[in-house]
Amino acid sequence: MRSYAFALAALCLSLAAVSCSRSNLRSGLPAEEGGGGQGGSGGSTTSSGGTGGLPNCGNGVVDLGEQCDDGNSVPSDACLPNCTLAFCGDGVVHVGFEQCDDGNGSPGDDCVSCAVAFCGDGFVHVGIEQCDDGNFDNNDGCTTQCQFTGNKCGNGIVELGEQCDDGNISNQDSCLNTCQAAFCGDGFTFVGVEQCDDGNATNTDACVVGCNLASCGDGFLQTGIEECDDGNLVNGDGCDSSCKTGSCGNGLVEPGEQCDDGNGSNNDGCIVTCKLAVCGDGFTFAGVEECDDGNMTTNDACVSGCKAAKCGDGFLQTGVEQCDDGNTVGGDGCGAMCTLPKCGDGTVDPGEVCDDGNLASGDGCDANCKPTGCGNGVVTSGEQCDDGNGANGDGCDANCTPTGCGNGIATTGEQCDDGNTQSGDGCDANCTTTACGNGIVTAGEECDDANMSNSDACVGACKTAKCGDGFLQTGVEQCDDGNTVSGDGCSAMCTPPVCGDGIKEPTEACDLGAMNADKPALALFNNNTTTPVKPVVFGSDAAIFYNYFSASGHTGFEQLNSTIVFLYANATNKALSIFVEHGIDFTTTGQNQAMSTVVMDFTGLPSASVVALSDDTPSEFFKSSATSVHGDWSFQQNTDGGVISGLPFPGTWTVTMNINFTGAVNTWKYQQGGTMGTANNILGTAAQLQSFDTPSLCRTNCTVPACGDGILDGGEVCDDGNTSGGDGCAADCKAF
């Protein structure tokens, strides 16, 4: 490979006109040219083939735009076929100047700067060389064969980068297996030199500074092992020879200690707090004290002098002794067992009437040391109670029976007490005298609720309440007239008269029960409710009353954003019509009626009915069949509507109205006639106008329809509440 260098030198000598430096070869620029070449401004970058678009390339004359022109198309000479100068990296081997040309600038392949790669050219030939430092020194890490030198820690030779190399892999001698000199803190124990080496500078573990094993007295506190380490093994200085802090129980009497016997016993002369044992310290000194409860109290189990409490010691032991007079002699106010004198001890003491030596009752001397008997406070045979006195009414009466009805003693709240609970014997079971009203049902009584009220279930004379007895039973009867006859204002069931029950009462003109009905001459049925209505009455034709001008109706009932429906009767000929008006006229009212559309259908009309007027055009309101009329109006700033005439009056018919709104008009109302003169809202989108030509026999309020009663019934055209003619309604209510 070293022959590559000589070949390159020979090549450079042969290039008389071109400077042969490694940098020039790598850049691909001939030295004698100031420009051109790859990427130069003086020529094409095309490396071979064609003329690069130059029309005279190849004529042997260097023309404008050409770097050269040798008159041939040979690609391996100094002038390429496209009349540009050959250069290193153009991919064509320039004969006599280049050994190779692979057309790239990679320094790691077989061709480097248009010369064949060789060891020592300074470029690592990938896959061939391990290194290439461009020289022939075998001692600089890269040999003359372009291989790394054989440096290896452990080969016994101290080489570059090694402090030592002892040829082994031991870490316990002076040279580690990393070929570095051993030192304290390297983490390896140097045998014969170091006691330990944990690789850190911490002095609180098992290996301290100097690579010495930690020990008590070395001045370093070993965590988890020592309580202290003051650098010596002297006791009594706060840290003893075991590296324990000076403490009670270590067997050494230290400052602040009265004693230290080195044990955990509290029952000897030195307790665990290193204090001398004393009476009252709460620990019993074995062989010296009987007890020690830690206090100087004399009423518990351990008294002064640390002696165990006992009867006769003169100290009253709470909860154990009743008395303690310092001796165990009885009869002196405190018994030999330190108990107080009591009933049943066989001695009659002050306050006792008897004492038979036991606490049995009923044996002549009861348990309270009183003679057996009622009133001594002890319940014995034959007694139900005994409260120790002879008073009555205090819960236990003088006969030693519980206070109560039937014990033979009349006490507060009792009228009598015959010693039994039998009723009807003059003194009833509730200790009241036998009589009606005492709450006890006895002979001759149907009931007895202990009161004299006649409005409940038991009336006077202790009789059971019933309909027809003349007494009104609250919550049960609505009336009671002393009989069970209907039609006299109170029914046989003691209920007041009800219109519709089929019984004609004095206050009713009629009552047909389920046959009662209302049949008004005219009615509006809407939302499941029938409302009697009256027509608007005027003495002119319906079309004249509509009063059409300025494209609007002017009946006086128009309302903004509303549809008004009403019945109109001509007072002259009784002709009945249905009026419908939508919105209001801006011209005459100044009210702004916004754009609206209303669609209505009238069905069930009598066949003789006609559309008498359509506002504005006939196409908006017309008969769609013999019994139907359809209306479809769109309007703004005026009204729209129409009139349907020819309805029989009186007559029997039902006309159904359906409506739909779009725009500002969105509600509809029925305009009442007569003296009412009000417009009532119609709910939903459907309603019916009804007419009856005959009245009912009896209205639902149990009145008989009649001309002059002010109610417009079927068959009437008017009813002004009287039967006088000439006042706008005929005397027979058949004409205006």
The whole-angstrom separation of Cα 730 and Cα 722 is 9
| pLDDT bucket at 677, cuts 50 / 70 / 90 | low
Average pLDDT over residues 31-46: 36
Confidence of residue 341 (pLDDT cuts 50, 70, 90): confident
Residue 149 has a pLDDT of 66
DSSP secondary structure of 437-471: TSS---TT-S---SS--SSSSEEGGGEE--TTSS-
- Exposed, middle or buried: residue 647 (CB in 10 Å: 0-12, 13-18, 19+)? buried
- Region of poorest pLDDT, from 93-107, 234-248, 347-361, 425-439: 234-248
Examine the pLDDT at 38 and tell me if it is beyond 60: no
What is the Cα–Cα distance from 342 to 349, expressed in whole angstroms?
8
Where residue 429 falls among pLDDT bands split at 50, 70, 90? confident
In this predicted structure, what is the pLDDT of residue 358?
A: 92
- Strand, coil or helix: 208: strand
pLDDT at residue 674, rounded to an integer: 61
Q: Can you give the pTM of this predicted structure?
A: 0.42
| CA dist., res. 675 & res. 537, Å (int) | 10
The DSSP symbol for 236 reads T
Cα–Cα distance measured from residue 560 to residue 590, given in angstroms and rounded to the nearest whole number: 11
Rounded to an integer, the average pLDDT of 156-174 is 90
- Average of pLDDT values for 622-642? 97
> Taking a C-beta distance cutoff of 8 angstroms, is the pair 171, 162 a contact?
no
Q: pLDDT (tens digit, 9 = 90+) per residue, 357-381?
A: 898 998 989 888 999 889 888 999 9
Res. 618 pLDDT band, cuts 50 70 90:
very high
Pairing of strands 522-526, 307-308: unpaired
Residue 568 neighbours by CB distance under 10 Å: 24
Q: Which of 604, 559, 603 is nearest to 585 (CA)?
A: 559
